Structure 1
Amino acid sequence: MERSLVSTLAHVDHPIAAPLSDGSVRTLLDRALPRGDERVLDLGCAEAAWLVRALAGRPGLRADGVDLSESALAKGRAAADAAGLGDRLTLHTGDATAFEVPQSYDLVLCVGATHAFGGLLPALEAARGHLSPGGSVLVGDGFWEREPGPETLAAGFEADEYTDLATTVERVSAAGWTPVYGHVSTLEEWDAYEWSWTGSLSRWALDHREHPDAAEVLGIARTHRDEWLRGYRGTLGFVTLQVRATAS
C-alpha cells in the first residue's frame, strides 16, 4: 500500500501526526495565536488537523497548508467544510520544500514533518522564508531522552539522527532562533499516539480481510508496534518549540 495511504489510515484516531494530546495542541496554538486574526501556514500539513483546530474559534484567522498527499488533503478539506471553516482554509498539493506564495505568515508550522526538509534546522530555515516580521514558528521534532541502544538503532534510527534536548535547543538558538515556549511530550502522550497509530491500522486490516493490502497493512502495524515497544519507547523524545527569529 502507498505510504501516504498507510499514514492516512494510521491517523484516523489521532489526526495530529505527533505525540501530542488535544490539550497540548490547544495550549500551543493559544500561545502562538494570541490575536486570533493571524495568517498561518503549515508545511507538511497532511490532513490539516493543526489548521482546522487553529481556525476553530478564531473567525479572523486565515490558513494555508501544503502537502504531497492528495488523499490526506482531501480529508482535511472535508473536515474543514464539515466544521464550516473551508472558506478560510486553502490547501495546496505539492512539495513543502518548494512552496512559494507572495504573502508571508504570522505563524509557520512544521510539526513532525521536518524530515521533508532534511532535519530540524533546514526546516526552520525554510520556515524563515515564509515568516512575517515578528512572527513565530511552531516546530516539532525528535530528540534522545537517553543514549540510544542497539534495540533503538535496530528499529531504523541512526545514533547521530538526534541529540539530547539541551543540545537540540542550543542548536536552534545558534541558528538564530529564540525559543519563547516549548512542550516536551510525555510518555503518556507517546503511548496514546503509538497505540492509536498501530491500532487504527490493525483494525482496518481486520475489518477488511478480503482487501488485497490487508495482510501487508497488518504486518506494517505489527512491525511498527514491535519497533516502538522493543526499540525506542522511552528513548526517543519529542519536543515542540515556538521560536522567533533572534535578529530582526
Structure 2
Amino acid sequence: MNREESSRIAHAHHPIKSPLDDASVRQLLDHGITRGDERVLDLGCGGGEWLLRALSARPDVRAEGVDISEVALAEARSRAVGLGVADRLVLHNRPAADFVSPHAFDLVLSFGAAHAFGGLLPTLAAARGHLAPGGRVLVGDGFWDREPSPEAVEILGDFADLATTVDRVMADGWTPVHGHVSSRQELDDYEWACWGSLADWALDHPADPDGAEALALSATRRSEWLRGYRDTWGFVSLVLRRTSD
C-alpha cells in the first residue's frame, strides 16, 4: 500500500490532517480571515478541507490550493462542486515548493506539509513569498511538551519545546497574533481516528492484497504513539504576521 493511499484511508474520519477539532479549526480560520473577502492559499492542501471550510463559511473569500496528489485534488474539486463553492476555488497539481503565482495572498495556510519544505522555518519562508502586505500565515507544527525519549525522536524527528519554537519563529521576523495548543483530547482523538480507520478498512477488506499490510501498519503506528510519544509530543497552530512589512 502506497503512502498516499494509506493516508487517505487513515484520515477518512478526520479530514483535517492535524490534531484539531472542528471548533479549533473555526477559531483559527476566524483569526486568519478577518475581513471576509481575502484571497487564501493552502500550500500542500491535500483534499482541500481547510479551503472548503473557509469558502463555505465566507461567500466573498477566494482560494487556491497546491498539492502533488491528483487523487486528493480530484476529491477537493468534487466536494467543492457539491458545496457550491467551485467557482471560487482554483487547484494546482504541482509541488508546493515550486508553486508560483502572479498575485499575492492575504492568508497563506500550511498544515501537515512542513516536510515538503524541510521544516517550519523553510515553510514560513515559502509562505512569505506569497504573502500580501499585512497578510497572515496560518501554520501548524509539532513540539516537545517534555523531554522525549530517543525512540520518540526517531519516530517523529527533531522538534524544539514550545517556547523555543515560538522564539525561533519570532527571530525569523514573525509576530504571533493568535495561537492554539492542541488539547490532550484533540491529540488522542486524532491518533485513535487515524489508526482506527486504517484498521477498520483492513478488517473490511480481508481479501485485499493490501489488507494485511494496512492492519499491521495501524498496529505499529498505534504502538508508536502509545509507547513512544503520547506523553511527550504536542502540536501548536500559529496565526502569524510579518513583524515588519
Note whether the superposition's TM-score is higher than 0.5: yes
Alignment partners' CA distance in 1, 2:151 and 2:192 = 19
Q: Does 2:228 match 1:225?
A: no
| 2:156 aligned residue | 157
Alignment partners' CA distance in 2, 1:196 and 1:89 = 28
Q: Does 2:93 match 1:96?
A: no
Q: Does 2:65 match 1:28?
A: no
Alignment partners' CA distance in 2, 1:78 and 1:194 = 27
Give the partner amino acid of 1:157. L
| 1:196 aligned residue | 193
| 2:53 aligned residue | 53
Q: Does 2:240 match 1:236?
A: no
Q: Is the 1:151–1:230 contact (alpha carbons within 8 Å) kept by the matching residues of 2? A: no
For structure 2, the 5+ residue unaligned runs are none
Q: Is the 1:187–1:234 contact (alpha carbons within 8 Å) kept by the matching residues of 2? A: no
TM-score, normalization: structure 2?
Answer: 0.98
- CA RMSD between the two structures: 1.0
Instruction: Give the ranges of 4+ consecutive aligned residues of structure 1 lying more than 2 Å apart after TM superposition.
Output: none
| 2:213 aligned residue | 216
Q: 2:182 aligns with which of 169, 179, 185?
A: 185
Give the partner amino acid of 2:106. D
The size of the alignment, in residue pairs, is 245
| 1:83 aligned residue | 83
- Structure 1 residue 97: Cα displacement: 0.5
Secondary structure in 2 matching 1:56: helix
- Structure 1 residue 57: Cα displacement: 2.1
Q: Is the 1:41–1:105 contact (alpha carbons within 8 Å) kept by the matching residues of 2? A: yes
For structure 1, the 5+ residue unaligned runs are none
What are the superposed Cα offsets for residues 104-134 of structure 1, whole Å, 9 maximum, x if unpaired? 1000001121111000000000000000000
Secondary structure in 2 matching 1:102: coil
Alignment partners' CA distance in 2, 1:112 and 1:234 = 21
Give the partner amino acid of 2:156. F
Give the partner amino acid of 2:209. P
Matches within 5 A, 1:87-166: 87-154=87-154, 156-158=155-157, 161-166=158-163
Identity of matched residues, % = 59
| 1:245 aligned residue | 242
